Amino acid sequence: MTEEKKTVDKAACIIAWPAGHSRSPLIHNYWAQKYNLNVEYRREAVPPEQLAEFVTHLGQHGYVGANVTVPHKEKVLALSEPDERARAVGAANCLWYDGDKLRSTNTDVFGFLANLDAVTPGWDRGLESAVVLGAGGGARAVIFALLQRDVRRVYVINRTPERAQALAKKFGARVIAAGWDETTGLLGGAGLLVNTTTLGMVGQPPLPINLRCQASLVVADLVYAPLVTPLLANAREKGLRTADGLGMLLHQAVLAFERWFGVKPEVTPELRALVEADLLAGAPNPPVQAEKAKPAPKQKKPRNNRLA
């Protein structure tokens, strides 16, 4: 179940089934070396029938916290004390100890916002309308994030209308279910388009969409394999600002690392290049060598980031 362990001050892990595909060890162990910390991040391949035992005894397994991914993100809510974010999204991807209590949150919300703030600054200034494609866990995190940034109307479009309608009911009057045939019309007045579906992912068909829109539209895609999806390529050809899924993956890791190890890491071009190379190679994560740096200085909270 576990990787070979070395003696460290603290350790965290990714809980998944299977776990071999995760890039989280590459990201967190890069930061551990960069900030000269005697910590380690490991993979834990935990089958569903063993999840409850593993999570409820996480500390006894040697961990101060963990990330959680498919297929466990919904089930860990009942095994921990979730915060508002995790309850609203209906899934948790980060566990940590607060005294003897195991708490959980959803860092995808923060990662989505931080990535947009970094690569498309001002994207939410006066944003009246956003269009979200999909109605799964990613869509729930995105909708929650957009509502926190006071977006007035969030249109949710899904090929199964009932799922979009369920999200509209869950999140309230500012979230509106719409049909796929309404997409082009809604994009004409939208300031943000977010794809949370698997369309455009490696092995999946491209997203069938007509980007007839304002020049100010920002296009975000949660898919990060390939790095540039057909949707993002189309948007860039039209001169639109874009945010890719890899940026969200990197930024969502920041909060977890800080909670576990006490240092707020930076998402740097060097880290992005490292993960890009690994994705392109499609190979197991190689050992990483990062330039040593002093611990990151305390940073001011970004404007209106009530999710930090």
| 210-220: pLDDT as tens digits | 999 999 999 99
What average pLDDT does this structure show over 36-63? 98
Residue of 49, 30, 48, 50 whose CA lies nearest to 40: 30
User: Which of residues 132 and 20 earns the better pLDDT score?
Assistant: 132
How far from chain centre, in Å, is Cα 167? 19
Report the run of H or E that residue 254 belongs to, with start and end: helix 245-261
Distance CA 155, CA 172 (A): 12
Residue 288 structure tokens: 């990483």
User: 2 pLDDT exceeds 80?
Assistant: no
User: How high is the mean pLDDT of the chain?
Assistant: 91
Distance CA 8, CA 129 (A): 48
Q: What is the DSSP string of 205-239?
A: PPP-------TT-EEEE---SSSS-HHHHHHHHTT
> What does the pLDDT read at residue 70?
87
> What does the pLDDT read at residue 4?
63
Q: Which pairs from 276-284 meet CB under 8 Å and 24+ separation?
A: 276/227, 276/246, 278/23, 278/26, 279/23, 279/224, 279/225, 279/227, 279/246, 280/227, 284/20
Residue of 143, 146, 145, 147 whose CA lies nearest to 157: 143
> What does the pLDDT read at residue 57?
98
Q: Which CATH number is associated with domain 111-246?
A: 3.40.50.720
What average pLDDT does this structure show over 43-60? 97
The CATH 3.40.50.720 domain(s) of the chain lie at 111-246
- What whole-number percentage of the chain has pLDDT above 90? 85
Measured CA distances, 25 to 30, 65, 99 (Å): 8, 14, 25
Distance CA 154, CA 177 (A): 9
Task: Give the model's confidence band at 3: pLDDT under 50 very low, under 70 low, under 90 confident, else very high.
Answer: low
- Burial (CB < 10 A; 0-12, 13-18, 19+), residue 161, is middle
> What does the pLDDT read at residue 7?
87
For residue 163, list its beta bridge partners: none
> What does the pLDDT read at residue 6?
75
Q: Which CATH number is associated with domain 10-109+248-281?
A: 3.40.50.10860
Task: Give the model's confidence band at 21: pLDDT under 50 very low, under 70 low, under 90 confident, else very high.
Answer: confident
Task: Give the model's confidence band at 145: pLDDT under 50 very low, under 70 low, under 90 confident, else very high.
Answer: very high
- Residues 187 and 131: beta-carbon distance below 8 Å: yes
Which has the minimum average pLDDT: 6-10, 60-64, 107-111, 186-190? 6-10
The CATH 3.40.50.10860 domain(s) of the chain lie at 10-109+248-281
Measured CA distances, 121 to 112, 165, 242, 267 (Å): 13, 31, 11, 16
By annotation, the residues acting in catalysis are 73
Length of the chain: 308
- What whole-number percentage of the chain has pLDDT above 70? 90
Whether the ω angle into residue 226 lies within 30 degrees of 0, i.e. cis, is yes
